[in-house]
Amino acid sequence: MRLLITGAFGMLGEDVSAAAAERGHGVTALGREQLDITDPGAVTAAFTGARPDAVINCAAWTDVDGAEAEEAAATAVNGTGAGNVAAAAAQAEAFVVHVSTDYVFDGTATEPYAEDHPTAPRSAYGRSKLAGELAVAAAAPDGHAIVRTAWVFGPHGPNFVATMLRLAGTRDEVTVVDDQIGCPTYTGHLAEALVDLAERRPRGTLHVVGQGRCSWYDLAVATFTRTGLDCRVQRGSSADLGRPAPRPAFSVLGATRPETPVLPPWEQGLDDYLAARPAVAEGTRP
């Protein structure tokens, strides 16, 4: 299969490119420097050159707090840009796998969000990602999979676990919120699932996250326990952070569709991430 990957040099895109290549697919990997997805002409030209059978759109504005002040710019990438990719895919008769987020929900639920639960984003970032979902579905109604995921971490970019490890190197105590619950998802596991979906082509919306749930506090404690770092973790609250963008208090995504890839538990994702970090730092793959 010929596979086009947008946002290919981001935290998720790096692992998607590697997973696709390891399966023997022909990969065209385009990062932000090679392709601006907000430029429809450039997107069409990229598809003309790559002639893909499928595209995995990992390109995204990921600065959640920054989107509050620059919602139009975030929506240009996450909304209009995603629609550009889907429109070019439909014209090329290529299947599009689009990565979305738990932020399209309001975070007030007490049970896992199903795929058909009403969306109600509370942040500019969430609204921009919902705009992308709608644009993809409209541009490629018969050839798309929208994959919502959450709490993503991986060795190729900044993330919560990396921040905890860095802080533990300079502090003997950190305060981490325990009033946000979600499903930590390792990019190495998610990447395999995205390539699998590009191969199988199930249509519609799917929820793909690490199995289980925890708080950010729990994830920090697990990180220090596994690495043997002597850093105490104090419980904090979201209100104390004072961040511009509201965070969903409950971000647990439930999968009801049988064709949804099942990822390993988040604890396994954490173990695999910690094992992968040294190899990435040395310029090799685990």
Catalytically annotated residues: 125
H-helix segments, the chain: 11-22, 40-50, 64-69, 71-75, 82-91, 124-139, 160-168, 187-200, 216-227, 238-241, 266-281
Please tell me the distance from the alpha carbon of residue 214 to that of residue 251, in angstroms, as a whole number.
10
Distance CA 75, CA 64 (A): 12
What one-character-per-residue DSSP string does 11-22 give? HHHHHHHHHHHH
Neighbours of 168 (CB within 10 A): 20
Between the alpha carbon of residue 2 and those of residues 21, 22, 191, 247, the distances in Å are 10, 13, 16, 37
Are the beta carbons of 145 and 97 closer than 8 angstroms? yes
